């Protein structure tokens, strides 16, 4: 082996040992705890907050720019808010009269970021930012939700009116009951299961609509670029429209006629 090659190997080995020693020293000195609270994808530090609310409210308004949002059933009679936020996002939340409001606003505080996101999974670091609201069990008057980029999940709730507008991200409903509303998803899938849907319009521009084991009454579904799957459901009036995609309704029982439009084939049909 050439002398130069041996020298490079020795130098590389020394650097690896030195790096390992520095990593261990940093961990022992408390650096690991700091690392766990740092987003290696952008150099941002995260904070976690947990707030409990005794005040009662019947309306919810959420305006999220990039945070995933979960609205779940509380285990008690109080509302609970759990958030994980980074330093570049300002979250405002609290009750205003009969309404609970959450607003996210981006405010950049750093001009230099380091992209080391590949290490997150290897190091087992959870840097997921999220807004999670737990609500006591009752029927709520309304939920208004706007999300620019982030997934939305709502479970085990009853609401009279739901208005949701998602720019990019998936929208999921489980064990959900609604009297009237509109759901719009510009880029992302809409998935609904074990729910009761009434007088509802669901629109997906780029993405599919999937509904399973639910009851639908006067529900209009439209997918511009994507499929509509309504399986094992009870469908009582409404319509399904697809511009580029397919309609699947395996195991679905139609109580009253439901219009089906497949515009790519220039075909209209009616299910009853």
Q: What is the pLDDT of residue 48?
A: 86
Can you give the length of the chain in residues? 272
Question: Are residue 56 and residue 162 in the same domain, yes or no?
Answer: yes
Q: Are residues 54 and 181 in the same domain?
A: yes
Q: Given this model, what pLDDT does residue 116 score?
A: 45
Q: Are residues 151 and 31 in the same domain?
A: no
270 occurs within a structural domain? no
Predicted local distance difference test score (pLDDT) of residue 87:
74
Task: Compute the Cα dihedral for 189, 164, 139, 58 and give only its sign.
Answer: positive
Domain containing 258 equals 48-262
pLDDT confidence of residue 66: 87
CB neighbours of residue 253 within 10 Å: 12
The verdict on 17 and 55 lying in the same domain is no
On whether both 94 and 154 belong to a single domain, the answer is yes
**CATH for 217:** 2.160.20
Q: Where are the beta strands (DSSP E) in 54-138?
A: 59-64, 69-73, 79-86, 89-96, 99-106, 130-135
Residue 86 and residue 76: Cα distance in Å, rounded?
29
| Tokens, residue 62 | 């959420």
Block means of pLDDT (10 residues each) for the chain, length 272 residues? 54 60 52 49 69 93 94 95 82 92 76 45 57 96 95 97 96 98 96 99 97 98 96 98 95 96 63 53
Residues 109 and 194 in one domain: yes
Strand 234-244 relative to strand 215-225: parallel, antiparallel, unpaired? parallel
- Number of domains, the chain: 2
Per-residue confidence (pLDDT) for residue 121, from 0 to 100: 43
Q: What SS3 class is residue 234?
A: strand
Do 26 and 106 have their domain in common? no
Give a yes or no: residue 155 inside a domain.
Answer: yes
Residues 6+ apart with CB under 8 A from 2: none
160 and 56 share one domain: yes
The answer to whether residues 153 and 210 belong to one domain is yes
Whether residue 58 sits in one domain with residue 16: no
Q: Are residues 86 and 15 in the same domain?
A: no
């Amino acid at each position: 082996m050439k002398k130069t090659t041996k020298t490079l190997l020795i130098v590389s080995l020394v650097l690896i040992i030195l790096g390992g020693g520095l990593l261990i020293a940093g961990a022992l000195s408390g650096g690991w705890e700091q690392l766990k609270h740092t987003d290696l994808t952008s150099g941002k530090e995260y904070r976690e907050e947990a707030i409990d609310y005794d005040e009662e409210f019947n309306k919810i308004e959420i305006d999220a720019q990039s945070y995933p949002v979960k609205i779940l059933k509380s285990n008690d009679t109080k509302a609970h808010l759990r958030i994980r936020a980074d330093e570049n996002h300002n979250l405002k939340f609290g009750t205003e009269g009969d309404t609970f409001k959450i607003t996210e606003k981006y405010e950049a505080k750093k001009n230099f970021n380091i992209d080391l996101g590949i290490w997150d999974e290897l190091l087992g670091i959870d840097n997921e930012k999220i807004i999670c609201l737990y609500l006591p069990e009752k029927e709520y008057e309304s939920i208004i939700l706007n999300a620019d980029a982030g997934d939305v999940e709502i479970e085990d709730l009853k609401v009279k009116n739901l208005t949701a507008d998602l720019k990019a991200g998936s929208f999921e409903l489980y064990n959900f009951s609604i009297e009237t509303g509109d759901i719009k998803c510009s880029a992302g899938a809409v998935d609904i299961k074990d729910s009761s849907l009434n007088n509802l319009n669901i629109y997906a521009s780029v993405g599919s609509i999937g509904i399973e084991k639910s009851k639908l009454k006067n529900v209009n579904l439209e997918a511009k670029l994507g499929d509509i799957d309504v399986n094992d459901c009870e469908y009582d009036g409404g319509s399904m429209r697809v511009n580029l995609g397919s309609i699947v309704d395996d195991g679905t029982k139609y109580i009253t006629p439901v219009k089906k439009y497949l515009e790519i084939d220039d075909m209209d049909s009616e299910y009853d």
